[in-house]
């Protein structure tokens, strides 16, 4: 990951932010506290139950729980 110097005049773009987010996810720098908190969310809990039981849900990728887990780096898409 590249860290800009405080004196840098380089403009930070949306692509820079996306790249940094992806690198943080890949490096597993997600806070475990945030993940534990989200596990209490009913949408996330339902998603995790589907993962653990192997049930099928054709709408899984469109669910709020899926988005939350993806944003936390708890899975790949």
CA 72 to chain centre: 3
End-to-end CA distance of the chain: 22
Domain residue limits at 54: 14-71
Q: Which of 22, 37, 32 is nearest to 76 (CA)?
A: 22
Q: Can you give the pLDDT at residue 64?
A: 81
> Total structural domains in the chain?
1
Question: Would 26 be classed as within a structural domain?
Answer: yes
Q: Can you give the pLDDT at residue 10?
A: 81
Question: Would 3 be classed as within a structural domain?
Answer: no
Q: Can you give the pLDDT at residue 75?
A: 61
pTM of the model: 0.42
Q: Can you give the pLDDT at residue 7?
A: 82
Question: Would 7 be classed as within a structural domain?
Answer: no
Question: Would 43 be classed as within a structural domain?
Answer: yes
Question: Would 76 be classed as within a structural domain?
Answer: no
Question: Would 35 be classed as within a structural domain?
Answer: yes
10-residue stretch averages of pLDDT, the chain, 77 residues long = 74 86 72 73 81 79 80 64
Question: Would 25 be classed as within a structural domain?
Answer: yes
């Amino acid at each position: 990951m590249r860290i800009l110097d405080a004196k840098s005049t380089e403009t930070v773009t949306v692509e820079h932010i996306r790249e940094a987010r992806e690198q943080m996810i890949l490096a597993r720098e997600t806070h475990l506290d945030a993940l534990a908190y989200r596990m209490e969310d009913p949408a996330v809990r339902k998603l995790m139950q589907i993962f653990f039981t192997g049930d099928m849900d054709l709408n899984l990728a469109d669910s709020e729980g899926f988005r939350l887990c993806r944003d936390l780096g708890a899975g790949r898409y």
